[in-house]
Chain A
Amino acid sequence: MLALETDRLTKDYAVGFWRRRPYRALDGLSLQVEAGEVFGLLGPNGAGKTTTLKLLMELIYPTSGRIAILGHPPGHPEVRRRAGFLPEAPYFYDYLTAEELLSYFAGLFGLRDGARRARVAALLDLVGIGGERRLALRKCSKGMLQRVGLAQALLNEPDLVFLDEPMSGLDPLGRRDVRAIVLGLRDRGCTVVFSSHILSDAEALCSRVGILVGGRLVAAGRLSDMLAFEVEGWELVMAGLDEAALGALGSRVRRATPLGGGRYAIELPPVDDPDCAVAGLRARGGRLVSLNPMRATLEDYFVRQVEARAGGPAAGRTVPER
């Protein structure tokens, strides 16, 4: 079952002061997200990630195209009831505390008194806000606001949640917590769609990703399909080596980088037997520090896609006049 489907979704903004002309922020996005999956919307700054999420939440209206969320158009009461949204760098009312804010929003979902208090307390615990819950939001750090933002997105126990840059402003501990929350949501069957340009997060969390560049979807699919998981080479770090010892490996070395103190990082091709190379270097006085297989990362794939499109037709994006 599809949790989200977009069909040729396009958004133009009018730009310019005197002579208004359309600027295409999103160009024909067709996307399908299955219920229960964690989908990452990736792309460099200005790629159209936030525009996409705002269109899905009906904070902006599409120029053309169609959206179905949980089988309904965006803005449908059922969507508002069952979906959650964390905007990028969320801002909340200064005069409220985290507890009061969540209580306000819980009231909008029809939660009353005891149920409301229990839900608010549980969510604040979940996102790791302790005594600060009674602190005015104007006094909260960026990381804390991000946590409050995440909590308010989960108030209605959503079936589908959209997170715009959920790791933004968080320290490593906060990022670890958010990862755990996202995985928890997935485990209870909630569909998660999040945008990010932190690729390691996407790699750790997503079952599928879509890559947006210049407002266009340039790649989408399972990570396992996008990335070749076979070994692309070996990286070994050896200590106690000199130039002569390295020279003995001859053309087998793809690259050797001196790390100082007689240590070298050495790249070997995938066909080479690393044990053989290590044995050869040990015989010349070297000591093995580490040996790792080299695999293509999402970052490699992402960079290739972005670079390939950098000069392509999607870049620029002022809509040509007909």
Chain B
Amino acid sequence: MARVVGLVAYHVFKESVRDKVLYNLVLFAVLLIGGSYLVGQLTAGQDIKIIKDLGLAASSLFGLFIAVFIGVGLVWKEVDRRSVYNLLVKPVRRHEFILGKFLGLALTLLVNIAVMAAALYAVLALMSWLRPEIGRAGGVEAPVLDPRLLKAFGLLYAQLLVVTSVALFFSTFAGPLMSAAFTFGLYVVGHFNEDLAHFEDVVQSPAAGWLGKALYYLLPNLAPFDVKLAAVHGREVPNLYCALTAGYGLLYIAAMLALAVVIFQRRDFK
């Protein structure tokens, strides 16, 4: 099973490389370096914080676009173009196909996040080398090359994997437009999910309260993955918090993939 899943995953990664998806990294680097230069011209004392903010926000945005736009096509494209006919008649079971597709995009995202993190550190190092005084400037609570940024990148990656699993789930039965709309919708809702847990406090109807509670558990809760602010300000993010959040992400991903497999397993390829 591992060989088959690995082969499918490797070819998803290969496709994204050949389709020049990784070119987004060039755009990211240009944005980061250009942004840093501008920040250096415009701000005083806050340069490092803003560059970190910019780097993490850009990584999040670029990662989200890759997760959604490639994720929604992972299965749909294969079915629509009928390339799935050649694959599923070989010794590839449908759940292996789904798992391979997910892991392939997970690998693409990993490379993206890793390169973007490295680029951010490189720009920060360059800035502190060119202008050593900024590291000592007032208002900067964290070291320039703060290793805690890695936790933010790690949780961002986990969040993107959750988004990928949601996109892939929709991709098993819906077209790309609808899947992208649903996934973006859930991404937005996922950042305000905490409010649904306390919905009963603000509504009169108990039914609406229960509905809010049900949606809280059903929809992905993405806000805990976002520790950008803490990382930028040099606040500690406990390891236990990271592990629990990643664990929640893993469970959610498993549930999404299981649902995707259930739907895909019985699907007719007309």
Say if A and B assemble together. yes
A selection of 23 A-B contacts at a CB cut-off of 8 Å is: A54-B269, A57-B85, A59-B85, A59-B89, A59-B268, A59-B269, A60-B270, A61-B268, A77-B91, A81-B91, A84-B89, A85-B85, A91-B81, A93-B83, A95-B18, A96-B11, A96-B14, A104-B7, A105-B86, A108-B87, A108-B92, A149-B86, A156-B90
Q: B4 an interface residue at 8 Å Cβ cutoff?
A: yes
Q: Does B15 contact A (CB under 8 A)?
A: yes
Residue among B89, B90, B268 with the highest chain A CB neighbour number at 10 A: B89
A279 to chain B, nearest CB (A): 61
B8 to chain A, nearest CB (A): 9
Instruction: State the Cβ distance, B80 to closest chain A Cβ, in Å.
Output: 10
A83 at the A/B interface (Cβ < 8 Å)? yes
Most buried by A among B14, B15, B81, B91: B91
Question: Nearest CB to that of A148 among chain B residues?
Answer: B86
Q: Which residues of A contact B268 (CB under 8 A)?
A: 13, 59-61
Partner of A80 from the list B11, B85, B86, B90 (CB cut-off 8 Å) is B90
The secondary structure that dominates the B interface is loop
CB within 8 Å of A: which of B56-78?
none
Q: Which chain B residues border A90 with CB–CB below 8 Å?
A: 82, 85-86
Q: How far is the CA of A107 from the CA of B2 in the complex (A)?
A: 12
Chain B contacts for A110, CB-based, 8 A:
3, 91
Contact A109 B86 (CB under 8 A): no
Nearest first, the 9 A-B pairs at minimum CB distance are: A95-B18, A60-B268, A87-B85, A85-B89, A59-B269, A80-B91, A108-B90, A57-B89, A91-B81
Chain B interface size band reads 20 to 34
Q: A59-B88, A90-B85 are in contact. List 11 more A-B contacts (CB 8 A).
A: A54-B269, A61-B266, A80-B89, A80-B92, A81-B91, A83-B89, A87-B85, A95-B19, A105-B86, A107-B3, A108-B4
Q: Is A229 an interface residue (CB 8 A)?
A: no
| Least CB separation from A100: chain B residue | B14
Q: Contacts A60-B269, A61-B268 given; indicate if A105 touches B85 (C-beta within 8 A).
A: no
Cβ of A177 to closest chain B Cβ, rounded Å: 20
What mask results when residues 37 to 63 of chain A are scored 1 for a CB within 8 Å of chain B, else 0? 000000000000000001001111100
B11 near A93: Cβ-Cβ < 8 Å: yes
Tell me how many residue pairs across A and B have CB atoms closer than 8 Å.
71
Interchain nearest-CB distance for A119 vs B (Å): 14
- Which residues of the other chain, B, contact A77 by a CB distance below 8 angstroms? 91
Contacts of A95 in B (CB 8 A): 14-15, 18-19
Q: Separation in Å of the B70 CB from the closest CB of chain A?
A: 13
| Complex Cα spacing A105 to B4, Å | 10
Against B, the Cβ 8 Å flags (1 = close, 0 = not) of A119-150 are 00000000000000000000000000000010
**CB-CB nearest in chain A for B19:** A95
B1-37 with Cβ < 8 A to chain A: 3-4, 7, 11, 14-15, 18-19
Contact residues of B between 256 and 270, Cβ < 8 Å to A: 266, 268-270
How far, in whole Å, are A256 and B80 apart by their CA atoms in the complex? 53
A59 to B264, CA, bound (A): 11
Question: Using a CB-CB cutoff of 8 Å, which residues 210-228 of chain A contact chain B?
Answer: none
Interface string of A287-314 (1 = CB under 8 A from B): 0000000000000000000000000000
Contact B89 A109 (CB under 8 A): no
Interface residues of A (CB under 8 A from B): 13, 54, 57-61, 77, 80-81, 83-85, 87, 89-93, 95-96, 104-105, 107-110, 149, 152, 156
User: Which residues on A sit within 8 Å (CB–CB) of B266?
Assistant: 61
Which B residues are in CB contact (< 8 Å) with A152?
Answer: 86
Instruction: Check A87–B82 contact: CB distance below 8 A.
Output: yes
Please name all residues of chain A whose beta carbon is closer than 8 Å to the beta carbon of B90 when the two chains form the complex: 80, 105, 108-109, 156
Query: Please, how many angstroms separate the alpha-carbon atoms of A212 and B19 in the complex?
Result: 43
Closest chain-A Cβ to B265's Cβ sits at a distance in Å of 10
Distance in angstroms between the alpha carbons of A44 and B202 in the assembled complex? 65
Decide if A92 touches B91 in the complex (CB within 8 Å).
no
Inter-chain contact B88/A92, CB cutoff 8 Å: no
Q: Given A80-B91, A108-B91, A109-B91 in contact, is the A91-B4 Cβ separation under 8 Å?
A: no
Q: Which residue of B lies closest to A55 (CB)?
A: B268
Q: Which residues of A contact B87 (CB under 8 A)?
A: 105, 108
Q: How far is the CB of B108 from chain A (nearest CB, A)?
A: 13
Cα distance A156–B86 in the bound complex, in angstroms = 13
A163 to chain B, nearest CB (A): 12
Closest to A87 in B: B85
Q: Which residues of A contact B82 (CB under 8 A)?
A: 87, 89-91
Give the CA-CA distance A59 to B265 in the complex, in Å: 10
Q: How far is the CB of A49 from chain B (nearest CB, A)?
A: 14
Interface string of B234-270 (1 = CB under 8 A from A): 0000000000000000000000000000000010111
**Alpha-carbon gap, A81 to B90, bound state (A):** 7
Closest to A162 in B: B89
- The residue of chain B having its C-beta at the shortest distance from the C-beta of A105 within the complex is B90
Whose C-beta in chain B lies nearest to the C-beta of A93?
A: B83
Question: Could you say which residues of chain A place their CB within 8 Å of the CB of B270?
Answer: 13, 60
Q: Which of B81, B83, B86 has the most CB of A within 10 A?
A: B86
Closest CB in chain A relative to B17 CB, distance in Å: 9
A80 and B92 alpha carbons, distance in the complex (Å): 8
**Can you name the residue of chain B whose Cβ is closest to the Cβ of A75?**
B93
Q: In the assembled complex, how far is the CB of residue A92 from the closest CB belonging to chain B, in whole angstroms?
A: 6
